[in-house]
Amino acid sequence: MASYLVPFNSLICMLLGISFTVWVTLLLVFIIVPAIFGVSFGIRRLYMKALVKLFEWATLRMERRAREKNQELYKPYSNGIIAKEPVTLEQEIQELRSSSGVSISSGGGSGGPAASSAEFELADIFSFSRRGVESIVDDEVTKRFTAEELESWNLLTRSNYNFQHISTRLTVLWGLGVVIRYGFLLPLRVTLAFTGVGLLVVLTSVVGLLPNSRMKSYLSEKVHLMCYRICVRALTAIITYHDSENKPRNGGICVANHTSPIDVGQVHGGLIGIIQRAMVKACPHVWFERSEVKDRHLVAKRLSDHVADKTKLPILIFPEGTCINNTSVMMFKKGSFEINCVVYPVAIKYDPRFGDAFWNSSKFGMVNYLLHMMSSWAIVCSVWYLPPMRREEGEDAAQFANRVKAAIARKGGLVDLLWDGGLKRQKVKEAYREEQQKLYSKVLRT
C-alpha cells in the first residue's frame, strides 16, 4: 500500500507544479508582459462583445417567458415616480391663492384681495406640504446612493435578482456564470491585483532613490503606467477614451464626476498608506490629512503651489466629495475652483450591464466592494475629455463649479443635480431651510 502511495503523492505534486507553471506562463504572456509594453491582444473587447450577445439572448428569453406567463418585467422609473413641472415657489403660491380668491400681486385698496397679498395665508402651507411629501415619495437625493437598477438582468445577483427565476435555462446559466466568475476570474484578478500593487510599491521605491532629473520623471511615468495597466486588467476594465486632444496638461487641475472609491489626495493608513508613501517618492503627489481639508486656505495654498510648478503633472480632483451611483452629478465643492488656473473637465460614465462600479460606503466595506468588483463580469466605462475651462470675469467660484458640473453632466449623459452629496451622511444644512424662507419672504414682499 505504501509503495503505491509515494508515486501517487509525487504525481499530485508534479501536476500541481505543472498547473502553477502554466498559470504563471499565461499571466506573463497574455497579461503582464503586454501591460508592460502597453499592448493589447483585443481579448477583453471580444469578451465584452460575447457578453453583450449573451445579455441580449437572456433579455429575449425573459421577455418571451414573461409573455407566456402574462407577467410584466420590472422597469425602473427612469423619469421619477411623480411627474413634476418646473414651477417657482411664487407660481405655486399664486395658483393656490387664486383658487381661494387671494391675489399675490401688490397694490389695491383696503379690504380687497390684493390688500392681504403681503400677509401670510393659510393656503400657503399646502405648497410646502406638497413639496415635502413629493420629496419623501420620490427622493432624488437618496436614490443616488443605491445601486443602479437595470431594465434587464445581467446574470449578476446584485441587479434584479428575481429575474433568475423566470426561466430554468437562465437559472442554469446564472449558476455557470457563478462558477466562471468565482472559480476562474476572481483568482486571476486577485493574482493580478497583488502583482500590480506589489510592483508599484517596489518599483516606485527604487525610482524614488534616484536624484530629481528628466530620467527620474521618465521612469516614474513608465512605472506608474505599467502598474496601472496591470491593476486595470485585474478588474477586466475596458475603457474607451474620447477627445484625447483635450487631455489635461501640466499647470492645471483635472476634475471629474465621482463613482468609484478613488479618494485622490486623502491620506490613508495600512496598505493604502504604504502605496501612497511609495508613490510620492517617485512622483510628486498632494496628500491631505482630514483635519487639513477643513482649513480651506491651507488646501488652496498647497494646490496653488503644485499648479504653479509647470513640471508637475496636473492634479486630479473629484469635487463631489462622495461616490454617486453613475446616474447623476451632484454639487461640486467650490474650493477646487477658487484657484486661478485652467480646469480640465472629465466625464466618466460606466456601463452597468457588466458590473456596478458604484461604492455604497454606508452599506459595503472596502473589502466587500472589491469582491463585488472582481467578481463582476467586467468594468466597462467611457471617458470624455472636455475642452479646458477658465473662470470668466465676474464669475465666482461657486458659479464656475456649477458651469463645469453642467458641462460634465451633458457630455456623460448624467442628471445635473444641485444637491450636496454630503447629504448622504449628514442632515440638511440650515442654509437650505433659510433659502426656502428667503424665497417665501420675497413672495410676501411682492
Phi, psi of 261 (to 5 degrees): -80, 65
pLDDT of residue 411: 92
Q: Between vectors from CA 157 to CA 154 and to CA 159, what angle results, nearest 5°?
A: 55
Q: What is the mean pLDDT of residues 342-370?
A: 84
Cα gap 359→318, rounded to integer Å: 14
- pLDDT for the residue 383: 93
Q: Which residue has the higher pLDDT, 398 or 73?
A: 398
Q: Is pLDDT of 122 > 50?
A: yes
The answer to whether the beta carbons of residues 160 and 73 sit under 8 Å apart is: no
Rounded CA gap, 240 and 379, in Å?
11
At 136, the pLDDT band (50, 70, 90 cuts) reads low
Residues listed for the chain: 446
Q: Average pLDDT, whole number, for the chain? A: 76
pTM value is 0.73
Higher pLDDT, 170 or 408: 408
- What confidence score (pLDDT) does residue 263 get? 52
Q: Which three cell numbers stand for residue 399?
A: 458659479
% residues pLDDT > 70 (the chain): 65
Say how far residue 61 (Cα) sits from the centre of its chain.
31
Lowest mean pLDDT among 108-117, 171-180, 231-240, 266-275: 108-117
Instruction: Indicate if the pLDDT at residue 293 is higher than 70.
Output: no
Confidence of residue 290 (pLDDT cuts 50, 70, 90): low
User: In the predicted model, what is the mean pLDDT of residues 428-436?
Assistant: 69
Q: When comparing pLDDT for 115 and 84, which is higher?
A: 84
Domain coordinates in residue numbering, the chain: 29-74+152-234, 102-145, 243-429
Q: Give the strand pairing for 415-416 and 328-329.
A: parallel
- When pLDDT is cut at 50, 70 and 90, the band that residue 8 belongs to is low
**pLDDT beyond 80 at 342:** yes
Compute how many other C-beta atoms are within 10 angstroms of the C-beta atom of residue 272. 14
User: Which residue type is seen at 244?
Assistant: S
Average pLDDT over residues 96-123: 52
Out of 14-18, 78-82, 299-303, 435-439, the most confident range is 299-303
Distance CA 381, CA 48 (A): 12
pLDDT at 292: 57
Q: Which pLDDT score is estimated for 259?
A: 82
- Say if residue 6's pLDDT is above 70: no
Q: Nine-digit cell at 206?
A: 527604487
The per-residue pLDDT for 138 is 60
The string of pLDDT tens digits covering residues 220-266 is 888 888 888 888 888 888 889 999 899 988 888 899 998 877 555 56
Under the banding of pLDDT at 50, 70 and 90, the label for residue 5 is very low
